């Protein structure tokens, strides 16, 4: 006999004795643990003939219903048994559906069209929308994945990007020459052919950014995070290479 069944039989013995003590009309003889197991087996077999779907429930769930039937003197009430079984089946299916939903793959990320940026107001709108996109992307329960900043080939030189959150943004071919980019988060962004010459780069996060022919010549680099990027794909002044990547 398994430990689970042993434990169930012990519990059933207590329930049966309690039922006897309360003078429940149906007589239940408790002579051994094997007898208790047989009582449960007979009850469950009867219920399965009434509701074949009861077979979907695990053993402990059926035993719990059987114990309740004995305690409440409901062994002959088929409607009561069917109600309890169907309720347990409903709860089991809900639990499975919830678990299944949690494993649903994330929908594909929408790619935004290149933005038309001529003024600071235009840029602010793109950044604000991008913040919403980041929030949605980080929440797997959300289904809307629109608004990712696409600033590819934009000339942003006269605009302000300080402390902007541009994680995963598309800045390929963008011209940011001479801009103060202090505090900007460019992690996982796309910076192929991006012009960052003579920029102020204090505390900029470049972690995991996609770089290729990314021009950083003349840039003031201080406290930046260049982890997990292809350093050989950056265009840098020879005099600062050792300082930046020591």
Q: Is 183 left (phi over 0), alpha (psi -120 to 50) or beta?
A: left
Global pTM exceeds 0.75: no
Residue ranges of domains in the chain, CATH in brackets: 3-102 (no CATH), 120-244 (2.160.20)
Going residue by residue through the chain, which has 246 residues, state the pLDDT in tens, using 9 for 90 and above.
Answer: 555 445 555 555 545 544 444 444 444 444 444 455 677 777 777 777 777 777 777 777 777 887 787 777 787 788 888 888 888 888 887 777 666 555 555 444 455 678 889 999 999 999 988 888 887 776 655 554 567 899 999 999 999 999 999 999 999 999 999 999 999 999 999 999 999 999 999 999 999 999 999 999 999 999 999 999 998 999 998 888 777 776
State whether the Cα torsion 211-214-218-219 is positive or negative: negative
110 in Cβ contact with 132 (< 8 Å): no
189 in Cβ contact with 170 (< 8 Å): yes
């Amino acid at each position: 006999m398994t430990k689970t069944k042993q434990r169930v039989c012990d519990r059933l013995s207590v329930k049966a004795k309690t039922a006897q003590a309360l003078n429940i009309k149906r007589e239940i003889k408790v002579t051994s643990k094997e007898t208790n197991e047989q009582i449960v087996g007979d009850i469950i077999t009867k219920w399965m003939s009434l509701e074949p779907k009861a077979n979907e429930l695990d053993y402990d769930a059926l035993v719990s219903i059987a114990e309740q039937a004995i305690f409440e003197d409901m062994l002959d009430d088929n409607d009561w048994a069917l109600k309890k079984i169907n309720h347990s089946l409903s709860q089991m299916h809900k639990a499975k559906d919830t678990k299944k939903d949690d494993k649903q793959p994330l929908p594909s990320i929408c790619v935004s069209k290149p933005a038309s940026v001529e003024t600071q107001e235009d840029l602010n709108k793109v950044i604000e929308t991008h913040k919403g996109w980041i929030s949605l992307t980080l929440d797997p329960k959300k289904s809307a994945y629109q608004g990712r900043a696409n600033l590819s080939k934009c000339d942003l030189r006269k605009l302000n990007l300080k402390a902007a959150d541009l994680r995963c943004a598309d800045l390929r071919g963008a011209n940011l020459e001479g801009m103060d980019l202090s505090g900007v988060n460019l992690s996982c962004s796309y910076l192929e052919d991006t012009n960052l010459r003579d920029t102020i780069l204090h505390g900029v996060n470049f972690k995991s950014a996609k770089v290729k022919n990314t021009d950083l010549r003349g840039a003031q680099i201080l406290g930046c995070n260049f982890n997990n990027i292809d350093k050989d794909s950056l265009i840098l002044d020879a005099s600062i290479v050792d300082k930046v990547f020591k």
